[in-house]
Amino acid sequence: MNHSELTQPVDLPARENDSYLAKHTVRSWLLTTDHKRIAILYLLSILFFFLIAAIAAAIIRIELVTPQEDLIGADMYNRMFTLHGVLMVWFFLIPAAPTVLGNFILPLMLGARDVAFPRLNLLSWYLFITGGMVSLYAILVGGVDTGWTFYTPYSTTFTNGHLVTMVAGVFIAGFSSILSGLNFIITTHKLRAPGLTWFRLPLFVWGLYATSIILVLATPVLAMVLVLIAAERLWGIGIFDPAKGGDPVLFQHLFWFYSHPAVYIMILPGMGVVSELIPCFARKRIFGYKFVAAASVAIAVFSFLVWGHHMFVSSQSVYAGFMFSILSYMVAVPSAIKVFNWTATLYKGSISFDTPMLYALGFIGLFTMGGLTGLFVAAIAVDVHVTDTYFIVAHFHYIMVGGMVLGFMGGLHFWWPKITGRMYPEAIGRLAALVTFIGFNLTFFPQFVMGYLGMPRRYQVYPEEFQFYHILSSAGASILGVGYLLPVIYFIWSLKHGPRAPDNPWSATGLEWTTASPPPVHNFHQIPVVVEEAYQYPVPASPPLEAALPGKSQKGEPL
């Protein structure tokens, strides 16, 4: 796509002063209530946690190159994968898409000047940072060796790790999640621009709305469960201790009541991003808008009904197992609706393979793999065979990394011009997307195979027959690392040296592209009025600014 021909003749100097990035003091950042600046604070913080968790993953992969114990001992290995899991889940995967992309884009997409509660938004960033620091402290003073799931009775009775501190960190970060979710729900309900009805909303908003419902309804359950394990460990109250009349499986029920929906917290915003990217780069309206939108809500509802599929090998009733198995199959229906609708959107589209699109296509492929293997493990018999093996590890990494991270990267590339006002180098961008895709598959596909063959997770010593797969996986991880590093480098480069971004570099629809890049402090000089449904592709030669104004309504309607 040629950017220069789309540049609008807007006087740049005037825009610069108006930009939300104009102020440079530390105070203007740390006390900001601007959703766009808070998004950037979040971006920097989650990257920090991602880096630490990625280093832990690198140490794990290096250790696993040989079947013996060489780099780190068993105890340290346990602490490493716990660190990796806790930081990745609560301090990267869950907050990343909602708090970075959501915070930045949601008010812009809605034609609003900010989120509903800007000060609460800043408070949730501070809570997030506080929670992260407490967890980091727990890691520095010795770490936790329970795995990110904190299973009882090991976590409450036997472990020698700094469990209570770690749990306190996650507890605090949980409140950050709740407040963000609350903010997004109210923003979507109450701050939509005139004419922006529910079925005119961009699908990213639907995804974010469904995510927020889960954040608000599931996170408090996690918070209380964490209180219970801290209390159990500190005072031995016995609710999870069979010797005192408690039940360790009760912990698993409560934990997965949160943690299964949490998977959808990670994937739903990613799906929303892909629903933005596919129509834009295929220059076609999304196929079956209402179904894609409703599928997000359906996934959110189902997500609360399937937690027991993590517990097929616990002492859970076999009848409960049947129900959870059937309900888990049902999640595949809305998920497949999305995948088929994206594919149908691509059909006969005029597709251009820009960087965001490459990530979106990668998302569809990897999410499908992750989703289909999800059906394997939703079948009780297969699950009993592969429980706690690398098959599970591969499955959830296909969803979380292949799905969520690719969706997040796609969205970050797509909106980077809007966020910073600069373009990144397209050629290296495409290369990085490709490297990520290849590195990812090389890392995790062998794990399906060795998991099916019986390699258990969470061991650093293993039979020699699995070494081949582990070497492939570690080699893939180093390629994946390059795929992550490249965008960091060229994004930073682009801040100073990237070409100035036009207001709408992709000729995309959506209100966020009708304002300046980077947007002014209050987003819009005049609150836009929406007269047509989302994704009116192909966009005619003129930018979609006019499309959002009244007077053009006859052209867009009826649909």
Partner 1 sequence: MKVEGQPLHSHFETLQQQENASTLGMWVFIATEVLFFGVIFTAYVYLRWEYPAAVRAGSLHLEIVLGSINTAVLLTSSFIMATAVLMAEAGRRRLASLLAAITAAMGVAFLVIKGTEYSMVIAHGFFPGAGGGPVPGREELFFWLYFLMTGLHALHVFIGVGLLSGVAFFLRRPRGVSVNAVRNIGLYWHFVDLVWVFLFPLLYLASHR
Q: Is there binding between residue 173 and partner 1 (CB under 8 A)?
A: no
Choose between 98 and 543: whose C-beta lies nearer to partner 1.
98
Among the listed ranges 164-172, 230-238, 272-280, 319-327, the one in contact with partner 1 (CB under 8 A) is 230-238
**Candidate residues 55, 186, 351, 486; the one interacting with partner 1 per rule CB under 8 A:** 186
Tokens of 87: 């930081």
Choose between 115 and 477: whose C-beta lies nearer to partner 1.
115
What's the rounded Cα separation, in Å, for the pair 388 and 368?
Answer: 22
Q: Least separation, in Å, of the C-beta of 113 and partner 1?
A: 4
What's the rounded Cα separation, in Å, for the pair 100 and 32?
Answer: 15
Stretch 527-546 residues interacting with partner 1 (CB under 8 A)? 527
Among the listed ranges 184-192, 195-203, 436-444, 483-491, the one in contact with partner 1 (CB under 8 A) is 184-192
What's the rounded Cα separation, in Å, for the pair 186 and 116?
Answer: 6
Q: Is there binding between residue 195 and partner 1 (CB under 8 A)?
A: no
**Candidate residues 136, 225, 282, 508; the one interacting with partner 1 per rule CB under 8 A:** 225
Instruction: List, in order, residues 6 or more apart from 475 with CB less than 8 Å away.
Output: 442
**Candidate residues 38, 96, 106, 191; the one interacting with partner 1 per rule CB under 8 A:** 191
Tokens of 38: 């808070």
The Cβ of residue 90 has, within 10 Å, a number of other Cβ atoms equal to 24
Among the listed ranges 6-14, 81-89, 222-230, 478-486, the one in contact with partner 1 (CB under 8 A) is 222-230
Choose between 13 and 245: whose C-beta lies nearer to partner 1.
245
Q: Is there binding between residue 189 and partner 1 (CB under 8 A)?
A: yes
Q: Least separation, in Å, of the C-beta of 370 and partner 1?
A: 28
Q: What is the DSSP track for 46-62?
A: HHHHHHHHHHHHHHHHH
Say how many residues touch partner 1, by CB under 8 A. 39
Asked whether 18 and 521 are in contact (CB, 8 A), the reply is yes
**Candidate residues 99, 149, 165, 219; the one interacting with partner 1 per rule CB under 8 A:** 219
Q: Is there binding between residue 112 and partner 1 (CB under 8 A)?
A: yes
**Candidate residues 3, 283, 522, 552; the one interacting with partner 1 per rule CB under 8 A:** 522
Choose between 238 and 288: whose C-beta lies nearer to partner 1.
238
Q: Least separation, in Å, of the C-beta of 442 and partner 1?
A: 41
Q: Least separation, in Å, of the C-beta of 171 and partner 1?
A: 12
What's the rounded Cα separation, in Å, for the pair 258 and 178?
Answer: 12
Among the listed ranges 8-16, 181-189, 356-364, 414-422, the one in contact with partner 1 (CB under 8 A) is 181-189
Choose between 55 and 249: whose C-beta lies nearer to partner 1.
249
Q: What is the DSSP track for 519-558?
A: PBTTS-SS-----S-S--PSPPSS-TTGGGSTT-HHHH--
Among the listed ranges 70-78, 216-224, 372-380, 391-399, the one in contact with partner 1 (CB under 8 A) is 216-224
**Candidate residues 63, 114, 383, 532; the one interacting with partner 1 per rule CB under 8 A:** 114
What's the rounded Cα separation, in Å, for the pair 418 and 511?
Answer: 12
Q: Is there binding between residue 228 and partner 1 (CB under 8 A)?
A: yes
Q: Is there binding between residue 216 and partner 1 (CB under 8 A)?
A: yes
Q: Is there binding between residue 365 and partner 1 (CB under 8 A)?
A: no
Q: Least separation, in Å, of the C-beta of 452 and partner 1?
A: 36
Q: Rounded to a whole number, what is the distance in angstroms from the first to the last CA of the chain?
A: 28
**Angle ∠(229,234,240) on CA atoms, nearest 5:** 35
**Angle ∠(395,372,453) on CA atoms, nearest 5:** 50
Stretch 235-264 residues interacting with partner 1 (CB under 8 A)? 235-239, 244-247, 250, 253-254
- CA gyration radius for the chain? 23
Among the listed ranges 109-117, 149-157, 392-400, 539-547, the one in contact with partner 1 (CB under 8 A) is 109-117
Q: Is there binding between residue 23 and partner 1 (CB under 8 A)?
A: no
What's the rounded Cα separation, in Å, for the pair 73 and 140?
Answer: 17
Three-state secondary structure along 117-130?
A: CHHHHHHHHHHHHH
**Candidate residues 217, 327, 428, 453; the one interacting with partner 1 per rule CB under 8 A:** 217
Q: Tokens 């801290």 belong to which residue?
A: 230
Choose between 141 and 224: whose C-beta lies nearer to partner 1.
224
What's the rounded Cα separation, in Å, for the pair 515 and 338?
Answer: 29
Q: What is the DSSP track for 391-454?
A: HHHHHHHIIIIIIIIHHHHHHHHHHHHHHHSBPPPHHHHHHHHHHHHHHHHHHHHHHHHHHHHT
What's the rounded Cα separation, in Å, for the pair 403 and 401?
Answer: 5
Q: Is there binding between residue 109 and partner 1 (CB under 8 A)?
A: no
* Closest-CA residue to 490 (of 400, 413, 421): 413
Among the listed ranges 86-94, 179-187, 200-208, 334-342, the one in contact with partner 1 (CB under 8 A) is 179-187
Tokens of 84: 């990796």
Give the total residue count for the chain.
Answer: 559
Choose between 65 and 120: whose C-beta lies nearer to partner 1.
120
Asked whether 306 and 259 are in contact (CB, 8 A), the reply is no
**Residue 456, strand partner residues:** 389
Q: Least separation, in Å, of the C-beta of 26 and partner 1?
A: 23
**Candidate residues 10, 133, 224, 326; the one interacting with partner 1 per rule CB under 8 A:** 224
Q: Which residues bind partner 1 (CB under 8 A)?
A: 112-118, 178, 182, 185-186, 189-191, 216-221, 223-225, 228, 231, 235-239, 244-247, 250, 253-254, 522, 527
